[in-house]
Structure 1
Amino acid sequence: MREHLAAAGMAPCDLARRRRPLALVDLVWAGRTFTTLHTVLRNWVEDSREPWPVVRSRLRYLGITARTETSPKTWRRQQHHPWTGDLPARAVQNVSLDRSMWHLLGDREPKTAPSFPPQRWHDDTVSAPVRGEGPTRALATAVALVEAGRTRSVRQRLVRTFSSEPAFAEPWLRSLSHELRPR
């Protein structure tokens, strides 16, 4: 996994020298992907002797979750994973989607690549581009979503949606909302 992370510019020395934080974004079901990734990064930082306080200040985790009822009893993944205590509270956030949209993206839409669990980390085929109808459709969907996100009407809806999020109290989400406002 370290080789894959290094190839993506995520070696501890790269993270420590970044000017801006690196945001890792995932469609989150239970949080295992972030748990595994953070554990690998944390151990690598220790092995490489890079300064953990510097690296931790450069990491952000953004989970895209299915929207649930908001209450003090709502289960929130970042409150139940010990690794989140390694980071400032603002570095681990959720943005929720309508459940039907989350399930469409997470369960029904094709993916650009197969899952990458630990047992595949040594698989040489993961470096080759994935071809076929599924990945092609997934890339076309991604391009369409990006293009839609550039339209005035979608950007206005995104700003309205963000402003209703509990996480909107966070400065980084308010900043993103201002960047999305149509000009």
Structure 2
Amino acid sequence: MNRPYRWDLVRPDQLGTLLERAEKPSLWFLDELIACAAKVIARAGDADLYFVGRSADSVHDLLSGTPWRERIHQLPLSFAGACDDPTAADVARLRANLTAAGLSPYDLARGRPKVFVDLVYTGRTFTELYRLLRDWIDDEREAWSIIRGRLRFLGITIREDTTPSAFRWQQQFAWPADLPSHGVRNISLDEPVWLYFGNTQPKLTASFPRPRWSDENGRAPEHSEKRLRGLAAAVAVVEAGRSKAARDLLVRHLRSEPAMAESWLRTLITRLR
């Protein structure tokens, strides 16, 4: 799979002295992040989670320090700046990357359900991803009647008052109606945290828009100040996810979710404790 280089944060022996060059990060958002991560787990269901792009990196990194790490995956992908339809070469490269990530139509029809997770504002990324997957499923002649019940999208949105007139991104598109009622769901973050994750948080990797999908030069690690700040922040989040205090708080939030009635979540809580 062609993807930006990302250090292994769970076994960070390869980092050497890199963190000495970065200032200690502030995890001012940690409690809100833990609450969000609990909702992601519970509302995604007993599934594999694919974090799209970079915006929800901290949710991924927090969970990578828990027993749920074998269920979470990163999917470097951005549609930013692309106004035209992808070329045949773009589609071929994306399909190769998705296949390597275990997201081919064959994979979608088998194994655990697949849930895509991302911060959502307008819903464009999910819409483009859905369209590309749907075309691919048709081309491969896999059973859409099976896949539609196993394909889910979980949006992390800005928290606002719940009213009948509140903006809901999925209502702006027709495709969510192709999925079951649980196929598109949302959870919310306080606006300052959402804006931080989506706009200003230092990220461990560069964005991965369409021109970079086939550019193998991006596989090399970056040592810029921006990336090192992102590295330090990501390592701190992973370490927080391993702490007893964070796990206890994660368990408390999980216990308040309706999914507690399901055996898979009770098993996870036992492992966390």
TM-score clears 0.5: yes
Output the amino acid matched with 1:146. Answer: V
Encode CA deviations 1:44-100: one digit per residue, 9 max, x unaligned. 000010111222222221112221112222111122222211211212111211111
Alpha-carbon distance, 1:32 to partner = 0.9
Match status 1:85 vs 2:177: yes
Residue 34 (str. 1) matches residue 115 (str. 2):
no
Q: How does 1:93-132 map to 2 (within 5 A)?
A: 93-126=185-218, 128-132=219-223
- Contact 1:112-1:136 at 8 Å conserved across structures: yes
Q: 2:147 aligns with which of 25, 47, 55?
A: 55
Length, aligned pairs only: 177
Aligned alpha-carbon RMSD (Å) = 2.9
- Alignment partners' CA distance in 1, 2:252 and 2:204: 29
- Matched AA of 1:140: A
Q: Which runs of 5+ in 2 are unaligned?
A: 1-93
**Aligned partners of 1:104 and 1:67: how far apart in 2?**
14
Q: TM-score, normalised by structure 1?
A: 0.79
User: Which residue matches 1:72?
Assistant: 164
Q: Which residue of 1 aligns with 2:95?
A: 2
| Structure 1 position 35, deviation (Å) | 0.8
1:141 corresponds to which residue? 233
Structure with the larger RCO, 1 or 2 (CA within 8 Å, 6+ apart): 2
Q: Which residue in 2 is equivalent to 1:12?
A: 105
CA contact (8 A) 2:204 2:234 kept: no
Q: What secondary structure does 1:70 align onto?
A: coil
| Secondary structure of the structure 2 residue equivalent to 1:30 | coil
Q: Partner letter of residue 204 of structure 2?
A: T
* Gapped regions of structure 1 (runs ≥ 5): none
Q: Secondary structure at the match of 1:78?
A: helix
Which whole-Å deviations, capped at 9, do the CAs of 1:133-171 have from their partners, x for residues lacking one? Answer: 33333233233223323334334444565688xxx55x3
Q: Is the 8 A contact 2:156 2:188 kept in 1?
A: yes
Counting aligned pairs with the same residue, the percent is 46
Q: Which has the higher helix share?
A: 1
